Chain A
Amino acid sequence: MSSPSLGADEFVKVEEVVKIFGDTVAVSSVDLSVARNEIFALLGSSGSGKSTLLRMLAGFERPTSGRILLDGEDITDVPPYRRPVNMMFQSYALFPHMTVEANVAFGLKQEGVPKAEIHDRVYEALALVQMAAYTRRKPHQLSGGQQQRVALARSLVKRPKLLLLDEPMSALDKQIRQKTQIELVKIIEQVGVTCILVTHDQEEAMTMAQRLAVMTEGQIVQCGTPQDVYNFPNSRFVAGFIGTTNLFEGAIVVDEPDHVAIESGDLSRRLYVSHGVSEPLGMQVAVSIRPERVVVARERPGADFNWSHGMVSHMAWMGGYALYQVRLDSGKMVEASVPSLLLSRMDAPGIGDEAYVSWDADSATVLAA
């Protein structure tokens, strides 16, 4: 049925897909490749176009232009009921008038699978999500977590080539989310299905996905592994969206192949970054430094760069770490998270105390965009 794959890395291929509703551009020219058996996350806030992209993958929306290929086959114009793609809906969309068993069996019945086989496959899918004991219940008699597992079983039972998850955790309590995220990944890996999930929660994307794409205004701004995107954001937007960060605006004053120096009015000393950049001398850039890379101390650092003087304006104890907010002499606020272990070993400054913030030369990322 399907032509030979174009390569393991291009199991799902989105080519220059555009979606326009009336006069709003929901998705503008997105290119994306997802490998076989990969768990991929589309991350963005509401209105970023991530849901529209997911709906086009499911077949509920037709792209204005562009192509979507699945396992080498063009599915752009294939209606949802003929795609080997299944989706777990946000808030699950379980059929309220059917039992758990009938919900899971629905897709197989539509396919015309023999009764005995339906029974076996439904039971197998429900056993996989540990819901085999609840076959006769109706959805409203289940907890949120149980409903989610039934929804997962329903979307896996047809053995789709591509599994789509739409905000999979949004209907669950915060306490059970992280545990559920890991369970979900285990099940998906056990089944061995390619999975694209959509979320606005960066922690969820980082916990579940092997790779992720950050979307805003209908475009993918950065795509990579969670570590890459977190450590090397390519724009102010990504740096701010994935985790929290401190951004310093300044001009490049030294531009060498192996290092750059940046003069920022926010800081007492110059910024020194131990890698070269492609931006020219004198250009205005932003430097991102993650809170966990910032050191807070009473003593003045010995180095000539990468520190600043200020006063602790706030400190919050978060359990595993303490969150400092330090007001620099320039008025700029800097956030630092200090591990509790370190905090107990040093003479930690308290609220209202003078303090120095500093960081290593390899902690900073220069952002031109």
Chain B
Amino acid sequence: MKTTFSRLKPSARTLAIVPPYAWLVAFLLVPFLLVLKISFADLQFGIPPYTPLIHLEDGIAKLDLHWRGYQMLFSDSLYLATYLNSLKMAAVTTAWCILIGYPVAYYVARSSPGTRNVLLLGVILPFWTSQLLRVYAWVGILRNDGLLNQLLMTLGLTHTPVEIYRTDLAVYIGMIYAYLPFFILPLYANLVKMDLRLLEAAYDLGARPWSAFWRITVPLSMPGVISGAMLVFIPCVGEYVIPEMLGGANTLMMGRVMWNEFFNNADWPMASAVTIVMVLLLLVPLALFQYYQVRNQEREAGR
């Protein structure tokens, strides 16, 4: 009696893992499947503005798959160019975040504990203002009659305004600015944990500070660099707000294409196809990376 009952009752362990799984299913898997479904539909007038996937015909359920979205994606070279440009812009942003963020994270991690908290606060502080407002501020700075150009012209460095606003450069500036903290924080968490005796051991064995940095600190901080880079790269590929507000008409990025398909063209199936391909484009390399990393760790542990 008791055993049957306790078998039916979920264990505490099961209960503990239900909420995160429920969250993932409700807010990640279900929406993804919905988008996947729409991507195989065709346009139609009405609400919703796409054809149903399954329809009854003489009492028999028929599956109606449409490939129009995907066909257009691969036939129109504009889409391919947009994908490549999104990846390129995300990659360049990530590279700059590494170049700027590494010294910052290193400096914060090596400061005294008191200074460290103040500096960390400085990194986190911009989050207290909405991202939208912060990007608007960049509009004010970068515009032709903006603060930057006023400064340059007052100083006499240039007579005609430097055109940054509505160019790719403005998008880079905005994205690096917006995503830098996402790179700094995980790297800081990694660097601050590092055992500094390892550096002393390196000096003791004849390594000059610079050599010790390259051969000890950098390799040991790679997990922090990788997780920070992921946190920058992935959202940058699909970024919409920054290219929309700072970029020019020819700044091609996936986020803008999706927005256009959904809201300007009201072509939900097309927008969904764009989304699905982007997710696959990001997910597959990530999954492979994860797989090899886990396998390497297992191989090392098993040796």
Q: Name A residues whose Cβ lies closer than 8 Å to a Cβ of B.
A: 58-60, 79-82, 85-87, 89, 91, 93-97, 106-107, 110-111, 136-138, 141, 154-155, 158
Contacts and interface: CB of A to CB of B under 8 A. Distances in A.
A110 B201 contact: no
B151 to A, nearest CB: 44
Closest 5 CB pairs of A and B: A107-B205, A110-B206, A93-B201, A80-B203, A93-B197
Contacts of A136: 303
Contact of B220 (A82, A96, A154, A158): A96
Q: Name the residue in B200, B211, B220 with the highest tally of chain A Cβ atoms < 10 Å from its Cβ.
A: B200
A80 B219 contact: no
Contacts of B197: 89, 91, 93
Interface in B183-208: 195, 197-198, 200-208
A60 to B, nearest CB: 6
14 contacts: A60-B204, A79-B203, A80-B204, A82-B206, A87-B201, A89-B197, A89-B200, A94-B201, A97-B219, A106-B205, A106-B207, A110-B206, A110-B208, A110-B211
Contacts of B219: 97
A136 B202 CA distance: 20
A97 B204 CA distance: 18
B204 A86 contact: yes
A102 to B, nearest CB: 10
B96 to A, nearest CB: 26
Interface of B: 195, 197-198, 200-208, 211, 215-216, 219-220, 300-301, 303
A81 B207 contact: yes
A97 B301 CA distance: 13
Nearest to B196: A93
Given A60-B200, A110-B205, A110-B211, 10 more contacts: A59-B203, A80-B200, A89-B201, A93-B195, A106-B205, A107-B205, A136-B303, A137-B303, A141-B301, A155-B204
A138 B297 CA distance: 11
A91 B200 CA distance: 13
Question: Which secondary structure characterizes the binding site on chain B?
Answer: helix
A54 to B, nearest CB: 11
A111 B207 CA distance: 8
Contacts of A89: 197, 200-201
B201 A81 contact: no
Nearest to B198: A93
A137 B216 CA distance: 18
A137 B301 CA distance: 10
A270 to B, nearest CB: 55
B221 to A, nearest CB: 10
B200 A158 contact: no
Given A81-B208, A93-B195, A138-B300, A106 B220 contact: no
A85 B219 CA distance: 26
Contact of B206 (A81, A93, A97): A81
B303 A158 contact: no
A158 B197 CA distance: 19
Q: Name the residue in B203, B204, B220, B300 with the highest tally of chain A Cβ atoms < 10 Å from its Cβ.
A: B204
Contacts of B215: 106
B261 to A, nearest CB: 46
A95 B201 contact: yes
Nearest to A82: B206
Contacts of B204: 58-60, 80-81, 85-87, 155
Given A89-B197, A136-B303, A141-B303, A81 B216 contact: no
